[in-house]
Structure 1
Amino acid sequence: MRAPKLLFIVLFWVGFVAYGQNKQILYDFVEIPQSAMVNPGVDTDFQWYAGVPLLSGLSLQAGLSGVSVNDIFANDGLNINDKIRERAIYGMNPRDELSGTFQIELLSLGFRGKNPDNFYTAGMYIEGDAIGYWFQDYAILAFEGNADKLNQAFDLGQLKTRGELMNVFHLGLNKKVDNDLTIGVRGKLYSSIFDFNSTKNKGTFVTKEGVNNIYSSTVEADMQLRTSGLNGLKDAVDEGTVGSTVAKRALLGGNLGVGLDFGFTYHLNDQTVITASLLDFGLVYHSKDIKNYTLNGKATIEGIGIILPDAAADPNSDFWQDLVDDVEDFVPFEDNEDAYIAFRPTKLYGSLRYNFGERVDNRADCACGVNASSNRARAKYANSVGGQLYIINRPRGPQMALTGFYQRRFGNFMALKTTYTIDKFSYSNIGLGLSVQAGPVNIYAMADNLLSYGNLANSHYASFQLGLNIISWGKK
């Protein structure tokens, strides 16, 4: 079997794509500089900050909906084949997913301009995303076959998978319009390391009673797998040059794209605040190291036709290969190197926050002189409570999460934020975030779905973030 065919078949059975992590704990956590990465229009009072390279922003998320590892492998006395059939094959549906993403900040910094209303951010991070949806009809065919499923049309369009690895350069402006409104915009330059996607597939496979044989099977398919960068990486593995190849592509030597982030923070009054942001509104144009595979056509096959005794008289006949050739004639498996555009997974955040309790003095320069601008730093409150909305564009349509949160500040030394999130992975996702300020050093750590840590095998979702920054507020 040729390598491209093997790759196509493997992706049939191992769908794996991703699209972006919900950073609900980090969102609007204004004590942490990285909160600007999920809302360019966040309220910020820093004079400048610098992330410690490779340590300022580490995040990892993985999710599996529909079934957990424990559902299949728990020592509960049930037959594992029965559990696979009932809980996975028939217990899941095509909207269930396996997804994951990670992000590592390589460089991160921000500084206030000559006009103190303007705060600039810049940096670079590497990001990998993947998500794959459960292809139930494929699983039924593999587990049970089609002999007793006559006239049942299996949906080949259930295959939806997408993934990418890229380096992202960004430059942003956060502007305080007045004491109530802060807006922000960030431009991004994407440098792709590799990409693959197979999301617009159509087709059916159906078996009926045959005319010239017991059964006839009809395949009708319009399927495509698009890839960039994978062939070059395979060659790099063989040549021992993976590191240099990845570095070259990450530093603008790969397929390039552009994107924008937008955001704002608006104070309805001194205690009530609304925020929103739109992230990764962009695309990547893939034109280098392209390899696409297509399966397009229709064929009805009734198996191998053997005419005796003529067939026995020809020892060189390869009946199986003849069958494969017949199928390929009707449903051609082809490849090409056509360039393509891949859109980024756009994300939308929004929140409503109510502040109350004791006031916590702001550390920012008061800007009290004759040249003072609208950059009057607001005092913070010891307590905040509110709700957040998160929406991400997915191959099967928008996906949403709702979060309630409570934040507690202990002076300017420490802040805690706890969240309760409802999404497709869990209805009991409790998260906790901690930010500690020791002089100029900021340390933060966050984790989701804490109730599952007692039995990770039974969890559908896990996520953590951590980082280390140096922050200055300027002279008082």
Structure 2
Amino acid sequence: MRLFFVLLVWFTGQLVYAQNKQLLYNVNSLPQNLMANPGGEVRFDMHAGVPFFSQISFSAGSSGVSLYDIFGEGNGTVNENIDRSLSRISDRDFFTVRNQLELLFLGWRDKKRNYFSAGIYQESDVFAYFPKDLAVLAWEGNENQKNFHLSDLAFTGEVLNVFHFGVSHYWNRDLSIGIRGKLYSGIINVRSIDNNGDFFTYGSSENGVSRPNLRKVDVLLRTAGLGPFLNENKMTNKELFNHFRSQAFLGGNLGVGVDIGFTYFLTDQYRLTGSLLDIGMLKHTEDVRTFRYYGDYDSNQESTLDPDHPDSGELGEYFHEEELSDPYISTRPVKLNASFDYGFEEDLYLAACDYRERRPRRRYRNHVGLQLFSMKRPRGLVNAATVYFDRKFSQNFFGKVTYTVDSFSYSNVGLLVSGRFSNFNLYLAADNLLDYSNLAKARNASVQLGFQFIFDKG
């Protein structure tokens, strides 16, 4: 059972992905800013992302424990480190896997007031709270005779394709607003939340053995799209590929969603922005399998079982398993972005190129600001705050530095650089740079890159 906890810590430290894209937010020279804020300013007239390479993001971290906390030299023995980590981690700590890959992304300006964008991206999102009570039970056993809550077990996971179309409208020199419609094509969905039940023991019986009890157990696991892995008849690789291709391109479980956002200038130098992303849901009707396990067993009540050594087969009298195929609805994890910044060192070239107004707004090479991020999860919000500084070094070179405080770290320093060569643009962004010298200590690290063609009408 102790091996279970070691493997869980390793899995947590290796497969935790962040979801905040603070390095790309408010970077108006990049098309990807529109995916973080549909109402973001657009300073070009057309773009075409390199298929499959216009945005690739990878990040990893952990809100509760790092590999170094468990296996680092000088911290004590592995057992001592696990005991110390278990006492520190709570059932509010979590790990999550989240990544995006843009398959196609295009944009164009119409009548110099609206900027339209459309594309397809694939997204994976796995989120699980640390099952504190179950980990303690696996590591220490039930010698402490406490209640172990099955409600600690809570996780969601999905893989889907997103087809989207949006417009950013230049309302006037002070305000831009935007909206993006989304059509979700679900590939895989797994969720188990709102579980109930307690495992506990009464005082030792006459022969010194504690009596185990499972009270008011109700555990539900919903799945969609896992048929190829659960069915007895195995698919060939070709059949498996065709199945998931169909699911990815509107052949399976579908949903709809919307993004909204704005950019508002209080003055030429002070800017306020905000966005709400993924306000939507999916309805799962195809390849749905739901597994439910429920029941109640109290060793103090009269029963035909030996209270000290209940036989697992006889427990079937008290516990039941069901497999259902009822459709269900899953909601997307809604995300909120907001920022306020100040610009300085006027950019005379950029202001002169603002053809939308007779009296162009003053533009600035540098910005310093604050960004807030929040994401809805089953037990509440996951939040982050970022202080940033960006600078336009020339018409073709841009850089941004961020300092972020979030659930993973209080010392997350990030860097983005973007270069443009004629109409070809590329960017590279990395997070949590201070821990790259020893990734075992890092609770969060990320790398993002993208390639696209950007055009300005002469």
With the length of structure 2 as denominator, give the TM-score of the two structures: 0.91
**Which residue of structure 1 aligns with residue 35 of structure 2?**
37
The 3 A distance-change label for structure 1 pair 304 and 450 is farther
TM-superposition CA deviations, 1:353-396 (whole Å, max 9, x none):
100013152299654xxxxx659764531111010000000122
**Which residue of structure 1 aligns with residue 376 of structure 2?**
393
**Which residue of structure 2 aligns with residue 100 of structure 1?**
97
**Which residue of structure 1 aligns with residue 227 of structure 2?**
231
Give distance in 2, aligned partners of 1:181 and 1:64.
Answer: 38
1:61-460 correspondence to structure 2 within 5 Å: 61-76=59-74, 78-87=76-85, 89-113=86-110, 115-146=111-142, 148-150=143-145, 152-209=146-203, 214-220=209-215, 221-233=217-229, 238-240=235-237, 241-301=239-299, 323-362=311-350, 366-367=354-355, 374=357, 378-460=361-443
Kept in 2, the 8 Å contact 1:201–1:224? The answer is yes
Give distance in 2, aligned partners of 1:49 and 1:449.
Answer: 30
Q: CA deviation at 1:248?
A: 1.1
Larger radius of gyration: 1
Give distance in 2, aligned partners of 1:24 and 1:120.
Answer: 23
Q: Is 2:38 aligned against 1:56?
A: no
Q: CA deviation at 1:63?
A: 2.1
TM-superposition CA deviations, 1:411-470 (whole Å, max 9, x none):
211110000000110000000011111110111110110001000011000111110010
Kept in 2, the 8 Å contact 1:45–1:364? The answer is no
Give distance in 2, aligned partners of 1:18 and 1:82.
Answer: 24
Kept in 2, the 8 Å contact 1:385–1:407? The answer is yes
The 3 A distance-change label for structure 1 pair 455 and 192 is same
The 3 A distance-change label for structure 1 pair 440 and 379 is farther
Kept in 2, the 8 Å contact 1:361–1:379? The answer is no
How many aligned positions are there?
443
SS of residue matched to 1:393: strand
Kept in 2, the 8 Å contact 1:18–1:132? The answer is no
Output the amino acid matched with 1:90: S
The 3 A distance-change label for structure 1 pair 304 and 76 is farther
Output the amino acid matched with 1:138: L
Q: CA deviation at 1:136?
A: 1.3
TM-superposition CA deviations, 1:260-297 (whole Å, max 9, x none):
00000001011110000000000010111111111222
Q: CA deviation at 1:210?
A: 6.6
Q: Identify the range of structure 1 (229-238 vs 47-56) with the bigger mean alpha-carbon deviation.
A: 229-238
Q: Mark the runs of 5 or more structure 1 residues left unpaired by the alignment.
A: 1-9, 307-318, 368-372
Give distance in 2, aligned partners of 1:228 and 1:80.
Answer: 39
Give distance in 1, aligned partners of 2:292 and 2:206.
Answer: 30
TM-superposition CA deviations, 1:168-198 (whole Å, max 9, x none):
0000011011111000000000001101111
Q: Identify the range of structure 1 (47-56 vs 206-215) with the bigger mean alpha-carbon deviation.
A: 206-215
Give distance in 2, aligned partners of 1:18 and 1:457.
Answer: 13
The 3 A distance-change label for structure 1 pair 136 and 204 is same
Equivalent pairs: percent with the same residue?
Answer: 39
Output the amino acid matched with 1:218: N
Kept in 1, the 8 Å contact 2:17–2:61? The answer is no
Structure 1 outlier segments of 4+, above 6 Å: 13-20, 210-213
Give distance in 1, aligned partners of 2:153 and 2:55.
Answer: 33
